[in-house]
Structure 1
Amino acid sequence: MIDTHCHLYVEEFKNDVDAAIARAQAQGVEQFYLPGIDSESIPAMLALEAGYPGVCKAMMGLHPCYVKENYLQELNIVQHWLEQRDFPAIGEIGLDYYWDTSFKTQQQEAFETQMGWALERGLPIVIHTRNAMQETIEMVKPFAAKGLKGIFHCFSGSYESAKQIVDMGFLLGIGGVITYKNAGLPKALEQIGVEYLVLETDAPYLSPVPYRGKRNEPAYLLHIAEALAGAKGITVAELASITTANATALFKG
């Protein structure tokens, strides 16, 4: 299995990241994709990647919640890194109107800029969207029409949203929300083919049941896989195989 989205380089893992990776590997998680957030987190993220070559894979991007007054400077740093070396994807990027809407215009500009870079470089994107689903889809559409691919990470929307996303050729990142009884995600995914799904934890956030409220970690990907396999009526082994192939085909390394 592949955890397509986990923040193993953050403070919550500073005392046991090696043990957390070992626990996940014991549960069959073979690779860990690390989304970029902002310039401050880059050194820790790249150091972790260097310690686990071919296992931990860093992306580069400016997260919408970190789009503030200095966003142009932050974007310059992202661009600098994209010119320095290869990355498997640009992410996590997108729109988040949940915490703060005072930088809406700047979030949109940062998102559009980074989608343009992805298209230029032939890279997929990993999208963070919160309280902005339809607007995010509308912003992605013209880029998808030009061949941009990617993942709507931590998808928890409706069937209508899911259908629009997969019709653009994008994938849905399925995490702990699939295990929450009242979230309605299994129903939203009923008519969505497994070929459009990938697995993720978003560790240390959004732990699946039975760990809800505790720190999430990639070892819990198995609980997500079990819930999703159950919802789709296939075995965990089948789901693991298909979602791994989906992730491998999308990411550039």
Structure 2
Amino acid sequence: MDIQELHPNFSVFPTYSLILPPSPTSEGRKFELRNKVIGVYDKGKPGTVVETEQSIVDKESGEVFTKVRSSGFLVGQGGWGGPKGPSTVNYAPPEGKAPDATHVVQTTQETAHLYRLNGDYNPLHATPEPGQKMGFGGTIIHGLFSWNSAAHGILRELGGSNPANMKEFEARFASPVRPGDKLTTEIWRMGNVVDGYEEVRFVTKNDKGRVVLSNGRCLLKITGVKSKL
């Protein structure tokens, strides 16, 4: 699929709502960004989990355009007597089955700096000292890079790079990514289709075989056509 910027079907990438609400101002709509805390869970000595939801909603009609759920882990802040919360769902790839598709991305020493163009001024992504103190060994790349590159690869390999073909996307940040790492995303079709969307599971690893994205799952309309994008 090849849609240029001035094409009437030009669209932002599906994960764009993570950083900026997509507002089609030409339609004259009014949007609200609604945030709520779903739960705060006490995991004991390791820490506390805070689960939140952010929705972009048409103020007049109430139509929900995007919904982002996220969980943050507050290290060492547990043990306050709160509920433990629900068990984590594990979206493991099927055992003994080779991936249906694979997508490889080679990062560079400059990759971490690209996020400064989006207003991310966290020194952890620009200079080695903070990462060395935190035990990462130096600069690390923004987590959204591995997240978005995996989404891009899945949509490119199986969804024809059409944003409308991706309905849901989720994963867990398992390990940091260092500048220069090669990321390989292995992708499996699960075969269960609902309303045209098939469940797809994936795992992203660096060139040392360490998992950087786990519990990967998305709902995708499979086109069977690999895009050049």
The TM-score, its normalising length taken from structure 2, stands at 0.24
Report the structure, 1 or 2, having the larger strand content: 2
Report the structure, 1 or 2, having the larger helix content: 1
The TM-score, its normalising length taken from structure 1, stands at 0.22
User: Which has the higher relative contact order, 1 or 2, with Cα contacts under 8 A spaced 6 or more apart?
Assistant: 1
